[in-house]
Amino acid sequence: MLEIGKTQTLKVIKKVDFGVYLAEDTDDAKNGRDGEVEKVLLPKSQVRQEIEIGDKLAVFLYKDSKDRLIATVNTPALQLHEVAKLTVASVTGIGAFLNWGLEKDLFLPFHEQTYRVKPGDEVLVALYVDKSSRLCATMKVYHYLETESPYMKDSRVEGTLYEISGNFGAFVAVDDKYSALIPKQEFVKNIPVGSHVSARVIEVKDDGKLTLSLREKAYMQIASDSDAVMKVIDSYDGVLPFNDKASPETIRREMNMSKNEFKRAVGNLLKMGRIEITENSIRRIE
């Protein structure tokens, strides 16, 4: 069976002026029953002169601009159900088109975009077949990511933040391949969708999905958090207009920290004698 979106090894069964026809190496093809064979055209521009009937070629199958199934010897950046980062070539009234290494750009419909893209953007997408049996891209990659990663607890990982949920947190494709989540309580930084992130694995779930944190372990993080707090205090001319009793929302907005992280950093600075806490503020001690 010829499968769109995949690379297959097919046999040359017929040569014509405009290319060669390829088919699976079946009994029908072997016995020359051309009318009974499911075949696909490899255009003349991609046919080497020395190709003969019976030769086998590895080709990728997709649809051309006239919606006809066609073969290519070129290798696209991703195959069916795979995930990869592609560059936006253009945006039209119906969606975006992505450069994926073939003559015809890959269509990314508006309804498959998690945010509006523009030419030149690099976007993480998966390849799927739409209701019209055409290959399309989707930025909704959650169900296409793998769960058998090589990472363990406390591993450092890199990935792309591809979706933010108010209920769950930030979804990350580790290595642009493996499924991971930064839980809501860990996602205190203002990081936009599409950003590259560096994180620490804090749990490997039973199903293989990773739980991440953008922060180091508390004892390692406290020094950098303390420095960050001092920088904000300095930006207020040495007097922060709230203390560690402020609301979590205020602390998150001003510090990009959780309230617990802020309190630990303030406690560390207090112990070091670098600040004093008043009823409504935190003051730098010179």
Query: What total of structural domains would you count in the chain?
Result: 4
Instruction: Single out the residue in 38, 72, 106 at which a domain terminates.
Output: 72
Predicted pLDDT of residue 217 = 63
Burial class (CB in 10 A: 0-12, 13-18, 19+), 175: middle
- The enclosing domain of 170 has a CATH number of 2.40.50.140
Residues 11 and 31: their CA atoms lie apart, in Å, by 13
- Residue 27 pLDDT class (50, 70, 90 cuts): low
In whole angstroms, how large is the CA radius of gyration of the chain? Answer: 27
Instruction: Convert the pLDDT of each residue in 168-194 to its tens digit.
Output: 999 999 999 999 999 988 886 778 899
Instruction: Single out the residue in 185, 213, 241 at which a domain terminates.
Output: 213
**Secondary element (H or E) of residue 269:** helix 259-271
Q: Is 78 within a domain?
A: no
Asked if 182 and 258 count as a contact pair (C-beta separation under 8 A), the reply is no
Q: Is 169 within a domain?
A: yes
User: Same structural domain for residues 276 and 243?
Assistant: yes
User: Same structural domain for residues 149 and 206?
Assistant: yes
Instruction: Convert the pLDDT of each residue in 241-283 to its tens digit.
Output: 888 888 888 888 888 877 878 888 888 888 888 888 888 888 8
User: Same structural domain for residues 232 and 200?
Assistant: no
Asked if 266 and 244 count as a contact pair (C-beta separation under 8 A), the reply is yes
Sign of torsion, CA 148 126 180 158?
Answer: positive
Work out the average pLDDT over 20-42: 73
Domain that holds residue 59: 7-72
Q: Is 47 within a domain?
A: yes
For 10, the token pair is 């097919």
Instruction: Convert the pLDDT of each residue in 108-158 to its tens digit.
Output: 999 999 999 999 999 999 999 999 889 999 999 999 999 999 999 989 899
**Secondary element (H or E) of residue 124:** strand 122-129
For 117, the token pair is 């893209």
User: Same structural domain for residues 278 and 224?
Assistant: yes
User: Same structural domain for residues 124 and 171?
Assistant: no
